[in-house]
């Protein structure tokens, strides 16, 4: 039996729900259906931000906001002028969900619970009579005249306008490939680096601002770096993983990373400072007192790695030791061997080629009345709420066109 809905959204995630709710709100006479393959909808929203859902980011200038997207920055510029972070805050506020901003700009529901966002979506779907069907996995879609016919298990549906918001599902990308769309190969983004190195093995938990560089991939970033039990994490590293998602995949996650533990300094400038310290503190033990506001344990580790013994005094340091210490402080090299999942947020780089999408409407340029939003597109961002913002913006603009 072929069941008809005016609008069908495949994928019960962030982008799918935002699209469906906005369609129904724009035009209450439309019969809207969300089809979700899983038993539950909004799974990633539930897990997101460590269960708190980092909904968006307090960045209100479109030109700045787009700089958070290694893939999609050019294409999102126009859409962000129509619906961006401030609009997201207002949208949730209008539905009784207040957001708060943390020091680093990330925004969460004041309840600190992703269930608040899920409850909001569920309530909206009930009020707007949007049908949500779970356990329904899209198998195929084809256009028949002015309508889309879609096959879901043993059932068939038809609709006038179809949205695919299936995230990073390779099966759907393959269906799209068969329909003529180009798909950019998927690789992981937002991961942490595995490093086995004596200098950091006893330092998990230490976090500090640093400048980091991967010369082999011509990548650099800065910000908080966290030493973990398995290597490096923190925003500075996650940014590298996002911007270098493809390059680091090509290197099979084996590369060398340089860390400057004293941002703003370099090997030359630090040597001069170390010479001054040698004069000023000639009688003091180098190891004992941490310099440059570095955590004591890190200072100890870098001093020993420079070939300076625990009882050496500043006056004892020779040229080579000063140079070693300068290098350890501002250009410490570590070998990365593999990656680990960052549990608070991860995404896939890759998806529908952006050249084939109209970013006024998020409609396919190849197939009229077929729309996309969210991670199915070759768009992804650094961590901080920007990935959801892509889903909200795409969903909102597609909904406008689909209503
Ligand atoms: C653990 C984790 C935490 C995260 N935390 C954050 C965060 O705090 N802030 C942030 O901005 N981003 C976060 N992200 C990224 C964010 O979750 C994604 O960018 C966002 O969910 C993408 O939304 P989407 O709707 O495009 O895809 P999804 O949320 O992945 O939704 C796609 C839906 O489609 C369904 N589907 C797939 N194939 C089919 C099919 N054939 N038929 C029917 N249904 C199908 C899937 O089951 C899924 O429910 C996090 C990601 C993870 C994994």
Q: Which residues of 37-56 are buried (b: 16+ CB within 10 A; e: fewer)?
A: beeebbebbeebbeebbbbb
Tell me how far apart the alpha carbons of residues 274 and 276 are, in angstroms, rounded to a whole number: 5
| Angle, in degrees to the nearest 10, between helices 114-128 and 43-51 | 150
Q: What was the pLDDT predicted at 228?
A: 97
Per-residue pLDDT, 351: 98
How many angstroms separate the alpha carbon of residue 312 from the centre of ligand 1? Answer: 55
Task: Tell me what the pLDDT averaged over the chain comes to.
Answer: 97
The secondary structure of 175-197 as a DSSP string is HHHHTT--EEEEEEESEEEEE--
For residue 177, pLDDT over 90 is answered with yes
Question: How far does the centroid of ligand 1 lie from the alpha carbon of residue 33, in Å?
Answer: 18
| Section 30-39 average pLDDT | 98
* Ligand 1 atom closest to 54 (CA): 8
Question: What Rg value do the Cα atoms of the chain yield, rounded?
Answer: 25
| Helices and strands (H and E) in the chain: how many | 13, 22
What is residue 1's predicted lDDT score, i.e. its pLDDT? 81
Confidence class for position 153, pLDDT limits 50, 70, 90: confident
Q: State the Cα–Cα distance between residues 110 and 101, nearest whole angstrom.
A: 9
Q: What is the pLDDT of residue 165?
A: 98
* DSSP assigned state of 377: B
Distance of alpha carbon 183 from the chain centroid: 20
pLDDT in tens, 287-340: 999 999 999 999 999 999 999 999 999 999 999 999 999 999 999 999 999 999
Q: What is the pLDDT of residue 64?
A: 97
Those residues with Cβ within 8 angstroms of residue 123's Cβ, 6 or more apart along the chain or in another chain: 95
- Report CA(35)–ligand 1 centroid distance (Å): 14
What is the CA(167)–ligand 1 centre distance, in A? 5
Per-residue pLDDT tens digits for 218-252: 999 999 999 999 999 999 999 999 999 999 999 99
Q: Which residue has the tokens 């009579």?
A: 129
Tokens representing residue 198 in the block: 């004596």
Residue 206 is inside which H or E element, if any? none
Q: Which residue has the tokens 């099966």?
A: 171
Query: What's the gap in Å between 44 CA and the centre of ligand 1?
Result: 5
- Which atom from ligand 1 is nearest to the alpha carbon of 49? 8
Take residue 378 and report the two structure tokens written for it: 């070759």
The rounded distance, in Å, linking the Cα atoms of 289 and 380 is 43
Question: Phi/psi zone of residue 45: left (φ > 0), alpha (ψ -120 to 50 degrees), beta?
Answer: alpha
Q: Is 0.85 topped by the overall pTM?
A: yes
Predicted local confidence at residue 39, as pLDDT: 97
Q: Which residues pair with 334 in a beta bridge?
A: 257
d(CA 19, CA 370): 13
Question: What pLDDT is stored for residue 117 in this prediction?
Answer: 98
Instruction: Tell me 378's DSSP state.
Output: S
- 310 is written with which tokens? 């625990």
Is the model's pLDDT at 374 over the cut of 90?
Answer: yes
- β-bridge partners, 220: 213
Q: Which residues pair with 111 in a beta bridge?
A: none
The reported pLDDT for the residue numbered 170 is 96
Q: Which H or E run includes 151?
A: strand 147-152
Q: Which of 106, 166, 383 to mutate to test the pocket of ligand 1 (most atoms within 8 A of CB)?
A: 166
**Ligand 1 atom at minimum distance from 42 CA:** 49
Query: Sheet harboring 138-144: ordered strands across?
Result: 2-4, 155-159, 147-152, 138-144
């Amino acid at each position: 039996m072929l069941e008809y809905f005016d609008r069908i959204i495949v994928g019960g995630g962030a982008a799918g729900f935002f699209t469906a709710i906005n369609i129904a709100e724009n035009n209450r006479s439309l019969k809207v259906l969300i089809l979700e393959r899983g038993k539950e909808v909004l799974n990633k929203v539930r897990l997101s931000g460590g269960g708190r859902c980092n909904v968006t980011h307090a960045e209100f200038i479109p030109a700045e906001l787009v700089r958070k997207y290694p893939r999609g920055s050019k294409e999102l510029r126009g859409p962000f002028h129509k619906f961006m972070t401030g609009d997201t805050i207002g949208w949730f506020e209008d539905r009784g969900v207040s957001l708060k901003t943390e020091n680093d700009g990330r925004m969460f529901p004041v309840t600190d619970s992703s269930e608040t966002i899920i409850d909001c979506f569920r309530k909206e779907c009930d009020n707007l009579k949007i049908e949500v069907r779970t356990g329904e996995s899209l198998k195929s879609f084809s256009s028949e005249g002015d309508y889309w016919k879609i096959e879901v298990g043993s059932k068939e549906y038809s609709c006038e306008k179809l949205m695919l918001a299936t995230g990073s599902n390779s099966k759907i990308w393959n269906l799209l490939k068969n329909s003529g769309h180009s798909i950019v190969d998927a690789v992981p983004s937002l991961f942490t680096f595995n490093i086995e190195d004596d200098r950091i093995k006893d330092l998990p938990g230490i976090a500090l601002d640093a400048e980091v560089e991967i010369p082999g991939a011509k990548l650099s970033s800065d910000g908080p770096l966290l030493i973990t039990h398995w290597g490096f994490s923190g925003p500075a590293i996650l940014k590298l993983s996002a911007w270098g998602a493809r390059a680091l995949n090509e290197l099979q996650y084996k590369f060398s990373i340089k860390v400057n533990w004293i941002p703003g300094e370099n090997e030359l400038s630090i040597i001069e400072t170390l010479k001054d310290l040698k004069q000023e503190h000639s009688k003091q033990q180098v190891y004992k007192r941490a310099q440059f506001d570095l955590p004591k344990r890190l200072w100890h580790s870098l001093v020993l790695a420079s070939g300076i013994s625990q009882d050496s005094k500043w006056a004892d340091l020779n040229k080579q030791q000063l140079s070693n210490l300068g290098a350890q402080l501002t250009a410490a090299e570590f070998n990365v061997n593999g990656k680990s999942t960052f549990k608070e947020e991860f995404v896939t780089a890759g998806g529908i080629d952006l050249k084939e999408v109209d970013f006024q409407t998020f409609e396919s340029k190849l197939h009229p009345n077929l729309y996309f939003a969210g991670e199915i597109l070759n768009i992804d961002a650094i961590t901080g709420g920007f990935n959801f913002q892509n889903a909200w913006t795409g969903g909102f603009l597609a909904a406008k066109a689909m209503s």
